Amino acid sequence: MAFETIIYEKKDNVAWITLNRPDKLNAQNDTLRAEVIAALEQANADDEVRVIVLTGAGDRAFSAGADISQFPEWQPLNVVQRSKGTKRPYTVIREIPKPVIAMVNGLALGGGCELAMACDLIIASDKARFGQPEINVGVIPGGGGTQILPRLVGEKKAKEMVFTGDFISAEEAWRLGMVNKVVPADKLREAVEEVIVKLKSKSPAILKLAKIAVNRSLETPLSVGMEIENELFAMCFGTQDQKEGARAFLEKRPPEYKGV
Ligand code: COA
């Protein structure tokens, strides 16, 4: 599929999706949002893709959020319509049973911060900054900034970020548990490649169950989550990869997973 506002590349079983409006700090207009969803679905449908990476073009931004130049066109009814009727990155990324990594190379603001938070893992450059500055343009976050952020950093810090619009450094985001790893900007790709190598060495079938299990922990009371975990744990024993994993351990050799 040809894209206008993103770049889609597949290499060594990894789909790299690059938001590509660097002159606008990769701000998300309707086309870009739709293309990100389409690219994620393409990567999901492709059996050769084991890991998906989202990043931003240029050296300034992952994404500076919603394209504010489109705001004059927005009306309450079509905003509701667009949110309910169309797929949203958070839902799509959570439903994809493959690991999705945000490689945050610069500013991740508003919808950019929300897109990064929707990913399973965030690896950031030390130049990255995170923020929910929607308040400065007269709106509140609309893609998880008031819901996912408090779950990651706690209510008080989330309120501070959402109420003031102030940005936090990559280092602070890491201390708060919002980011998995922070590395010098020139080592970012390498750091992401290292995580990819690790993820590709695991069983895709078991990774899928692991992703479902952790996702559910955010949506259910503990007792229900524990039940779900137990069922998913039991499902592991129906896979060939579980048998291969245990056999390889006992035979003191690396496992050869088939993803089933
Ligand atoms: N929507 C549309 N365009 C945006 C944008 C956004 N969210 N963020 C940046 N841009 C555009 C700027 O308008 C500018 O375009 P221009 O060169 O045609 O004028 C270009 O990207 C570069 O941004 P600029 O503001 O000149 O860079 P800066 O270094 O002075 O400031 C920011 C960087 C991120 C602080 C500033 O761009 C900003 O506040 N952006 C809005 C972030 C935001 O509020 N996001 C949430 C939206 S709900």
pLDDT in tens, 49-94: 999 999 999 999 999 999 999 988 888 887 887 766 566 888 899 9
Catalytic residue among 9, 35, 134, 256: 134
Provide the pLDDT for residue 86. Answer: 60
Task: Please give the mean pLDDT across all residues of the chain.
Answer: 95
Query: 172 an active-site residue?
Result: no
Q: What class has domain 6-200?
A: alpha beta
The matching CATH number, chosen from 3.90.1150.10, 1.10.12.10, 3.10.20.310, 1.20.930.40, for 204-250 is 1.10.12.10
Average pLDDT over residues 147-159: 97
Catalytic annotation present for 41: no
178 residue type, one letter = M
Ligand 1: residues within 6 Å at CB? 24-25, 27, 64-69, 107, 109-110, 133-134, 136-137, 139
Ligand 1 centroid – CA 25 distance (Å) = 6
pLDDT digits (tens, 9 = 90+) for 230-250: 999 999 999 999 999 999 999
The strand pairing partners of 56, in sequence order, are 19
Q: What is the pLDDT of residue 78?
A: 79
Task: For 91-138, give the secondary structure using H, E and C.
Answer: HHHHHCCCCEEEEECCEEECHHHHHHHHCCEEEEECCCEEECHHHHHC
Q: Are 102 and 119 in contact (CB under 8 A)?
A: yes
Give me the residue spans of the domains in the chain: 6-200, 204-250
Give the distance (Å) from ligand 1 centre to CA of residue 61: 10
State percent of the chain over pLDDT 90.
Answer: 90
- The pLDDT score that the predictor gives to residue 214 is 97
If you average pLDDT over residues 154-163, what whole number do you get? 98
Task: Indicate the pTM of the whole model.
Answer: 0.96
